[in-house]
Copies of this chain bind each other. A is one copy, B any other.
Amino acid sequence: MAFHYPNGRKFMPQPAKIKPSHSKEMSYSNRGKTLEDDLNETNQYYLTNGIAVIHKKPTPIQIVDVHYPKRSAAIIKEAYFKQASTTDYNGVYKGKYIDFEAKETKSTASFPLKNFHDHQIKHMQAVTAQGGIAFVIMRFSITDTIYLMPAKELFVYWERMHAGGRKSITIQEVETTSTKIPLGFQPRIDYIKVIDLLIKENF
């Protein structure tokens, strides 16, 4: 049975780790991996190779009841998903603060803004005001294309929506304002390479 976080996001139980098969036919789409899996692998690669220290934050939970059985670990018996007050990923690259949210869509024509929440936009605005590097990694799952959109571009579309405009970003707008991240083998989604380019252009 499907269930959802209070923010409408689907709960994805952690899949059992499967050894990678080395079949040449294996493509991204049929690996059954999520954007989150790929970003976690990428971040692990960055950490292992001393490139950056970036982690996904744990899902915030409101704990109500915990049992403490003898001779075994504490069991949480009642808890609820809470809405996060920040984005999901943050960390450090060359001393700079990095902060991003990762989102997927099955749409091919546009990226729906309902994927974002007001508190996430406010958080990215606060980070930007503080000189941090904030952005979104967007995946169009049908075409398996991934873009990095700087937060300041996202703010424009967010404000347009609040002014009564469209509730999504067209694919043409995404292409104009964002940088495509080519998929690699290791790291899978080399977003730091894009950040490097953007830092040179003063983001």
Q: Are A74 and B80 in contact (CB under 8 A)?
A: yes
Using Cβ atoms and an 8 Å threshold, which residues of chain B touch A75?
78-80
Number of residues on chain A facing chain B (CB within 8 A): 53
Using Cβ atoms and an 8 Å threshold, which residues of chain B touch A13?
63
**Closest Cβ neighbor of A72 among chain B residues:** B80
Interface residues of A in 158-198 (CB under 8 A from B): none
Of B3, B47, B74, B91, which is within 8 A of A68 by CB?
B3
Decide if A110 is an interface residue (CB 8 Å cutoff): no
Using Cβ atoms and an 8 Å threshold, which residues of chain B touch A98?
97
Interface residues of A in 1-42 (CB under 8 A from B): 1-6, 11, 13-14
**Closest Cβ neighbor of A133 among chain B residues:** B95
Contacts A6-B73, A80-B74, A80-B76: A93 and B57 contacting too (C-beta < 8 A)? no
Most buried by B among A13, A63, A123: A63
Decide if A112 is an interface residue (CB 8 Å cutoff): no
Q: Are B77 and A77 in contact (CB under 8 A)?
A: yes
Interface residues of A in 27-71 (CB under 8 A from B): 47, 50, 52-53, 55, 57-63, 66, 68
Identify 8 new A-B residue pairs, CB closer than 8 A, beyond the known A75-B78, A92-B130, A97-B98: A11-B66, A58-B58, A58-B84, A76-B78, A91-B97, A94-B131, A95-B130, A96-B97
A-B contact pairs, 20 of them (CB 8 A): A3-B74, A4-B74, A6-B73, A11-B63, A11-B66, A47-B126, A52-B130, A53-B126, A53-B127, A53-B130, A59-B61, A61-B76, A61-B79, A73-B81, A74-B81, A76-B81, A90-B90, A92-B132, A94-B131, A95-B96
